[in-house]
Amino acid sequence: MSLDNILIVSTAVVAGIVGAVSLYLFENIRNNQHSQRTDRDDSHLKSQLITLQNELEDLRKEYKKSLEKNKQKRKRRSNGPASVSYASEADFKSVAGTEYDSSSDEYYDFSNETGDEDDVTLTEDGIAQNGVIKNKIDQFSWSLERIDALLFDGSDDDMKSVYEILMTLYNTQENLSSLQFSEVLWRLCKYCQRMANVFKKDNNRERQKDIIYKGIEYGEKAVSINPDDYNTHKWYAILIGMRSEYQGTSDKIKDGKIFFEHTNIALQLNPKDGSLYHLRGRFVFEIASLSWFERKAASALFGELPQLTYDDAIRDFKMAEELHEVQWKENKLLLAECYIGKNMYKEAAIWLKDCNSITNRTSDDQVVSEKVEELLTKYSSYGN
């Protein structure tokens, strides 16, 4: 085989390794969740968004009142300690979809103009324990809870509000602990993954690429700040997988290794995430499917590939089956293909028939069904 043909084989191999991951990320996770949403769920999510926006608006009003209070104190006292600035005007704009009128505010600060210790007290991390900033930090948990409801199950239209809220937190990171900031960062990764999906549907490759790369920047920061949170590794790995279609062949191989490394770490930190087992299983399946020559060619050109087998992939897919809340057609198909790769056709036929018995819920399920029907014509007799 010529070098050109080897390169073609290697390119196809790598596209399968990481491209399959990105395909799943773009479509399957969201579709599986989206297909189970009811009208009641939509109403609940919209209600949560309205509540979040209203509470953020209340926080903004409370903050403005504190500025007025400080102005009055400055009028009574001509001398006072130097002010400490915590936020910029942009941080409080557009959170609820409206512009904030700051014409009456001189600047944003939380000054202890009276010298009273009860106004603002700082910890070693620079986090205020009293006053308006404490109010804002106290809102952090409910902010993330409501963001998650929209981020994971909300509509594409909800993403604008999610982004504005996340960026408000991101741009005021000096008021957050490092662990709180990492919580914001991995959610920004998830936001970038969601929007990359939107841009993919719109065939806007440039915006899709830009937001994937931006998400990877957030992911790198999140992992460096909080390496003990499985979500930082999970969403960083997912965005690395999505980057594959914009990478050259050598970089795709490197990204595959990065993806595998961080998926492993995420599963060590949280072994109950079925979607992660599926993602790792797909990666393992693609590696295990390589012929001896393909593996040698790829290793010679781009470095040694992980030594992975169909049995490794089967373990991951079975864990995904056990942990996933709904019947997962694609996961069953991949289990069948693993057994076909091992020449265990009876087991393959069992999984194919199981897969074929599940009603299609998405367009991806329909594609899977067509593949299953094709394989059943060849292997169904082994299951008798």
Token pair 């979809």 is found at 97
- Convert the pLDDT of each residue in 226-258 to its tens digit: 999 999 999 999 999 999 889 888 888 889 889
Ranges of residues in the chain with a pLDDT under 70 are 1-139, 301, 383-384
pLDDT of residue 288: 93
pLDDT of residue 61: 59
Please provide the DSSP assignment of 206-225 as one string.
Answer: HHHHHHHHHHHHHHHHHHHH
Tally of CB atoms within 10 A around 65: 11
Q: Are 98 and 141 in contact (CB under 8 A)?
A: no
Please say whether the dihedral angle defined by the alpha carbons of residues 217, 230, 335 and 344, taken in this order, is positive or negative. Answer: positive
pLDDT of residue 141: 72
> Which CATH superfamily hosts domain 7-36+178-294?
Tetratricopeptide repeat domain (1.25.40.10)
| Residue 139 per-residue DSSP state | T
Helix 140-153, helix 39-76: angle, nearest 10: 150
pLDDT of residue 226: 97
d(CA 209, CA 150): 23
Residue closest to 168 by CA, chosen among 337, 55, 246, 78: 55
Residue closest to 193 by CA, chosen among 36, 27, 330: 27
Q: Where are the domains of the chain?
A: 7-36+178-294, 56-176
Query: Of all residues in the chain, what percent carry a pLDDT higher than 70?
Result: 63
d(CA 336, CA 314): 9
pLDDT of residue 362: 83
d(CA 150, CA 161): 9
Q: Does the reported pTM lie above 0.75?
A: no
pLDDT of residue 58: 59
